Amino acid sequence: MTAKITFFQVGNGDMTLVRLADVRGTAILIDTHIRASADDPLDDTPDVAKALRNKLKFDNKHRPFVDVFMLSHPDQDHCGGLSKHFWLGHPDDYPDDDLHHSKKRIIIRELWSSPLIFRRRSKNHVLCKDAQAFDAEARRRVRYWQANHFAFDGNRILIMGEDADGKTDNLQAILVKAGETFSRINGEYSSFFSGMLLAPAPHEDDENLEDALSKNESSIVMNMRLSPQAGSLNPVHLLMGGDAEVLIWERLWERYKDQPEVLQYDLLLTPHHCSWHSLSYHSWSQYGENARVNEHARNALGQARAGATIISSSKQILDDENDPPCIRAKREYDEIVDDVDGWFGCTGDLKDKEFIEFEVTQSGKVARVVAGVASAAASTAAAAAPRAGLGVQ
């Protein structure tokens, strides 16, 4: 199989599907933003739920599934539609109904979640219902592991980043610390994937900083390496940062400026939907063209490899005062890709298309292959499943 990365057209929100090149076509979904209007057949909002299901395989109980769902942080535009379209609960409790496969809720074999993205939420920020549901499911899976010290498909979880005060010390077997690289997916080692967790990390040595960090600044930041074949020396580097803002990128550069390869990428999803707040402490609406870019954050986000692609998952980027997306941020990203003969794209430019897709070439580059709409003919699921060995245990 060919490794592919699909960015869905979800307005100012994130929803990215990574398909590995292994024989199973392992699927990693990063965030989801399925708007209510997208479920309305009379509305012209892209039907990304249908587009997603058409790209998924089905287990031996005829249920669509992703191998991994990673929530970067608990904002509505990163988890919207989760409760409606995904099964949250023990897989044995999945309802035995007669719904057509296009409506069946999606099984999540393994969750990737950070406790910090929930603990650091603002006191004035009430979690949306989908975020509350995700939090409850993550806690259920942690309790399941604590009770059994193992888990099968549909109950698995990896904790992304330590919590403060030793709260995750007893979870070492399912914990990935900031700065660590891992290759385990759904309980098995993958020779087609590795991920370096860059953030979040607790800052117990600086109480003022810890108290100041918001939900955006607690986003999971990860640099993934996707190999076109097992053991390839030419993996594609995919850098994902949720809504991480300037403070985080500034600190990442301070930490890795002597190891810039840690931040190098072939494909970057612009943090916070091409927001200026990821590049500057100055408000775009207040300072306009006088707003100064933070050089450390710019350096962290500027480690593009030759021919790199940068994608903004956002509405169309216009020359106006909006932020996000912000025209000034786009100009910075344009300069970055121009320097490496790369390309900048925006999902909001897709109009009636539901996704834009890239594949990993054998030379370790990303190639744009399609901007498409959901259709049964394009479905990988129809050709691939159900089959033995993919059942949830």
| Dist CA 1 CA 20 (whole Å) | 8
| pLDDT score of 266 | 98
Kindly give the pairing relationship between strand 265-269 and strand 304-312: parallel
Q: Which residues pair with 57 in a beta bridge?
A: 65
SS3 content of the chain, % helix, strand, coil (to 5): 30, 25, 45
CATH level 2 (architecture), domain 4-369: 4-Layer Sandwich (3.60)
The Cα 324–Cα 315 span in angstroms is 8
pTM: 0.91
Q: What is the pLDDT of residue 115?
A: 82
Q: How far, rounded to the nearest angstrom, does the alpha carbon of residue 265 sit from its chain's CA centroid?
A: 15
- Cα–Cα distance measured from residue 145 to residue 172, given in angstroms and rounded to the nearest whole number: 11
Which run of H or of E encompasses 189? strand 188-189
- The alpha-carbon radius of gyration of the chain (Å, integer) is 20
Type and span of the H or E element at 52 = helix 48-53
What was the pLDDT predicted at 56? Answer: 96
The single residue listed with the structure tokens 């991480």 is: 244
How far apart are the C-alpha atoms of 94 and 108, rounded to whole Å? 12
The confidence score (pLDDT) of residue 377 equals 37
Report how far apart, in Å, the C-alpha atoms of 175 and of each of 181, 295, 352 are: 11, 32, 41
pLDDT in tens, the chain (393 residues): 899 999 999 999 999 999 999 999 999 999 999 998 877 888 888 999 999 999 999 999 999 999 999 999 999 999 999 999 999 999 999 997 656 666 899 999 999 998 876 665 555 567 899 999 999 999 999 999 999 999 999 999 999 998 877 788 889 999 999 999 999 999 999 999 999 999 987 654 555 555 555 555 678 999 999 999 987 889 999 999 999 999 999 999 999 999 999 999 999 999 999 999 999 999 998 888 898 999 999 999 999 999 999 999 999 999 998 999 999 999 999 999 999 999 999 999 988 889 999 999 999 899 998 887 754 333 343 333 332 222 322
- The DSSP-derived string for 237-301 is EEEE-TT--HHHHHHHHHHHTT-GGGG-EEEEE-GGGT-GGGT-SS-HHHHGGGPPP-HHHHHHH
**Residue 360 confidence (pLDDT):** 95
